[in-house]
Every structure is written in structure tokens, then in C-alpha cells.
Structure 1
């Protein structure tokens, strides 16, 4: 964009609020500005029809990623982006000094005035993206008792730009966090296992859909006073031991942190429960909220079917070995598996030991965890 064309835009921006919209001059000016900025004239008409408003154009070094985020998430059609603009960093044009060089630095009197209660309101209109410097376009609504801008306004606008950048970043950060949390909740709610996040005191911070369903099924697990409770005494004691081990920094090979299995009071199958400590990233928050304890509860009665063929192809198991592993995964013990398959207990042990070697585990508990490894955080 050449300097002459750019100066024309500055002049239009500076005086747009002084035009009468039903005149040909105003219409032509808006048309010219819309074309230069790559915007829609109707957008500018809506903005300019409030004659109490003024436009200020200020520059500040903002990353392209931030500008792209602002524009991609905009809900206001009055936000637009202009390309190929050229402007020195720090220069500001207003309706009083756009015809001047806009290089003189006045006092910050108007900035100090803004700190006191007053009728000035400001809103973000858009951002101009250039090859080196990025600019913010602001509308200032100064109320019914408007006055002309003076030379001290430039210092105010220049002082305001960094605050605008920080405010925009903070809003986008909050928006991203909210969007990420919503997406994470949707993913967790689709998981086939119950998931609960606990603080160090054992109080529930979050439960996914499956976890809530399990606790409401009256099958041995419930929530009382924001804590998990178990009808099975053995499960309750094992859970307390696991929680104590996690709180005191127990390692993954701690026997107390091995997943446990206990029967359901109603329905088929049993529950498999695992626990891990997660370290949250962030600088704020107390120690109680920085470290979160994740509890995984899997209902074997509603498990996803393990494919015998899948076990054979994945681990190189024979069909007999795969069937033994599948029955053990269904919470059957080895004698029960042997009876179901119509083989002797010694033959079942032989299949199991060969499966251990092929899968790379040394015990039945490890085998079940490996087959169900997607449920636990290593």
C-alpha cells in the first residue's frame, strides 16, 4: 500500500464519525475505506451511524497466531482484517491529528483521566495485519458530551495498546481452556471405564459418565460425602491402602498399587480398580490440587469383547492359549478356565506359562493388566 493511499485511509478513519450517512460524500468515503481495508461497507455503516463514536488506530507488536485466533473465533461481524498496510510502530491516528504527522508525543493526562470514573468506553473493532507490525483498531465511545481529540490523546492510545494485548491474550487463554475442558470431558465420558479424579484427601474432583453410572448402579460402589465408598470390606481396605501409598509417593512397583479385583454385589462380572497419581502442570494452586489421584474402575461385565484372533495375531498365541487368556481376562481363575475348555489343570498351566513368555509378563495379574493396559496410566 503506497503512502498516498494509506494517508487517505487515515483521513477517512479520523473523520468518519463526522460524516452524515445519507450524503454522497459519506457513502463514497465508506466505500473507499471498505475497499482499502478489504471489509464490507455495510459493516462500516453500522459502526459509523452512531455519531458519538470515534475511531482510534494504534499499533502494537502482536503475534500472527494471536491475530489469527481473534479473527477465527470472532462472533462480531464488525471485526475484520486488512492486509498490506504499512505503518510505523507506535503511531496513532485520531480525528484530530490524522492530518498531522502523528509523531509528536504529548502528556499522558488523558490516560490518568481514564483511571478515574468517566464516561469513556472502548471496544476492540479489529486488527490490521502487516508484514512486520500488527495494529489494533479501536472504537471509543465517549458518551453524549463528546469533545474533540487533542494532542494528549496520542499518549493515551499508545499507553493503552499493551493493555489491550494482555486483555486479548487472557480472554483467548480462558476460551482455549474452556474449549479444551469441554472436549476432554466429552472424550472421558465416552470411555468404557469409570474415571474419578481425587484430591489428596480422597474427595472427588471429577467423575466421568461411566464412573457416575457405576456408583449409581448399587453394585458395590457408591459416592458418599464426595468420596468413593465400597460395600466389600476387602475392597475398602485395599482402596485405603492404595490411597495412602499414592499420597506418600509410592512407586509403580509398590505391591499396594497393584490393581485389585472384587466382585459386584449385583449383576455379572466384577470390578477392576487401579490408581495412579497425576502431576498437574501449572504454577498456581495448593499442593492438594496440584497433584491429582486418578482412579480407574472397569466393569468386566460390560467389557469390550477381546478377539481371540486379535490375541493370536498380536502376541503370537495359539488358539488354546488365547482362549485361556480370554477366560482369565473375564475374571475366571485357572481351574474354572480348564473346566470350561475341557482340559486338565496341568494343560491349562502349560498354556498359561507359554502365554506369559509370549506376552512378556510373569504373573496372571500382569497378564490381565497387559490385556487391559489401556485403562491404566503407566
Structure 2
């Protein structure tokens, strides 16, 4: 289990590790393989997928003809984080009467699936699946417990991988990058005492929103208790968690993501002279986030380079004609690219796209130093 958790969290910074993580989970639960999708079932579009040992040709057929299937339709109404076993939503005999089974599952001798929605935004979902052969029968209670144990860690890794550049920077002990992040980064020791806080976290402390001495907290006792609970979870081997906390002037809500640190981050931080690090908190302030770069959009939402450039240009408030002139494209081409961008990012128009870009942007230009505290 420790090896699997290391793989799951390492995959947040290196998506190429997802197939290995999925395969390891499949081995642990006596399954054939696993797959992680970022998809819109209603739009019948897969924006990214990581395949752990499942048949690639069957995956292609699934994406072409069978995204609307009994399993995916059942998961559309399930809450994020819930473990759903396929036998609970459709009987195997009923599944065998579908084209989805004939073309996607039968060639792989698969009849059972463990499914978790790891993230959801409107119609977009990140879907985790571990597929099991017909001969092994349905998943048992002990295997369900494995999935329930892993679910919060899988969700946290997806959150870190697609929203928090700070996690990758922390893993690499890249303090020059950490200092420039619009997200606050706070590293804590085994008793929850703050060992390191970057510039953004220190500025949030200066305005009264955060408290960093000796442990992380906020001006609100209620929200401080919630944060303390998440830190305790991370320090005792749990997945930590996510909480919202109001700013000192109550003008906005900040999101705090707390995670335990794995062996790779610990060794890098030790080399950077931060010893006894045990967990970290990332503080996302919507007022501090700036527009993302094209590569981040391409990585997170599967945009082409042209689509990413159009998204960034159009979200700056320019008209179709102005965006086209700036990019050397016709207004109709800009309109076509934008339709694809809206579909892939699940935004309904310019305002929604601009709001999304403001939410996920992470890096700003800054040259002031961070603080290290004992």
C-alpha cells in the first residue's frame, strides 16, 4: 500500500506514472487493469486518459462508439469520491446484452468494474476505473475497502496534478519557483509546527487571514479547528483534505489543500535544509491568481496549441475580430477554436472561460523573498 500511495502522489507531478499506479492497484485487487479518464459523456469527448494494462484497441472503440454505456451513465449521478461497484448498478447478464459489452468488454474478458468519480465540473468528470475479469467474479468487501482507502488519495493527487503547480515545485525543492507562486505554500513538521512559508503565505499572515506561528490557522477559530483536523489527518498517514476559509475582511473565500509529504519530497527538502518536514498546505486565493500559460491549458484540458492561444487571447476581453487580428487568424477560425475550447473546458462562454483561467492560474512575477520559520 505504501508503494501504491507513493505512485499515486508521484503521478500528481508526473502524469506518465498513472499507468504504473493503476496497474499496481489492479494487481492488489486481483484485477486485469485500470484506466483514468478526463471526459464528458454528454459531449462524447475524452480529453485525456491514462491506461494501466487494458487493451488499447478496446479503449479506442470505447471512445469512438460507447462513451454512453450503462456504467458511465450510472456514474453521472454519483457524488465525487464514492466507490461504486458495477454489479451494484447493472447486473452482468443485462450488461452482456449491450454493444458496449460485445465490443469493449468481451474481447478483454472483463465483466466487473470498480469506479470512482475523482473530480467533477459541470459535465466534465475525472473517472477512475479498475476492471476485473469475468472468471474472478465481483469485488469482495476487502477489495472494496482498498478502493475506499485509496479514494481520498486519488482525489488529492488529481487536485494537485491539475491545480497546484506548487506541489511539483515543492517535490523538487524549487524554492525560486515557490517564491513566485500566487498560491501560499506552508511546510509543517511532525507536530504541525510551521517550518517554511513562501511569500504569498507570509503576506496572507500580514493581512490577518492566516496564522503561521506556531501552527497554521486562520483568524476564525472554527476554520482553524477544521485546518488543524486536516493537518492531523495528513500527519497520521491520511490523505489530508480540502477546506475553505474566509479572508480577514470576509471579501472572499480561500481554499486550503493539506497533504502529507511522501519520501521523495522529504529527501529533497532535507537536502534544502528543511528537516523533519511531514506535511504541506497550499492556500489558493482567487484574488491572487493570474492567467495561466498556454502549456498549462494544453496539459490540463487537452487543448491544441492553437486552441490554447485563442483561449488566452479571447479571455482578455478582445472581440473575435481583435483576437483574430492579434493571432493572424480569421474571425471564423477564432470562433471555431473557441467552440472547441468551451467544450473541452466545460465553460459556456467568454465569461466562464475567463473565470476558469483566473481560477487555475498560478505563477506571478515576484522577486521578494520568502520566510523560513522555526
Q: Which has the larger radius of gyration?
A: 1
TM-score by length of 2: 0.31
